[in-house]
Amino acid sequence: MRFDVRLFALYRERAGSSLVSVDVPDGACVGDLTAAVRADYPRLAPPEVRIVVAVNAEYADDDLLLQPGDEVCLIPPVSGGS
């Protein structure tokens, strides 16, 4: 399956694009997709950083099975405020 993955903020800057395409096998889960993104874009996030994923506008756990047509977004960690 091929997914067009939306990247935000720091991830967009590091990948050089707000949208990347990633291929994963049928039956893949969110964890498989993030592993594929990390392999294609190793500068995206250090291995110790958990990549937050939203699937169809809902936060998703690594074990969520992906379906054709799912909208996938990667959201970097945010900090700030007082």
**Domain segments of the chain: what residues?**
2-75
Name residue 55's beta-bridge partners.
Answer: 58, 72
Q: What is the reported pLDDT for 77?
A: 81
Q: Report whether pLDDT(80) > 70.
A: no
Q: Report whether pLDDT(20) > 90.
A: yes
Query: Is 2-75 assigned to CATH 3.10.20.30?
Result: yes
| 69 backbone φψ class: left, alpha, beta (φ>0; ψ -120 to 50) | left
Q: What is the reported pLDDT for 82?
A: 52
Q: How far is the C-alpha of 26 from the C-alpha of 9, rounded, in Å?
A: 29
Q: What is the reported pLDDT for 79?
A: 57
Q: Report whether pLDDT(81) > 80.
A: no
CA atoms within 13 A on the CB side of 72: 31
pLDDT tens track for 21-69: 999 999 999 999 999 999 999 999 998 999 999 999 999 999 999 999 9
Of the candidates 32, 26, 71, 23, the residue with the CA atom closest to the CA atom of residue 51: 32
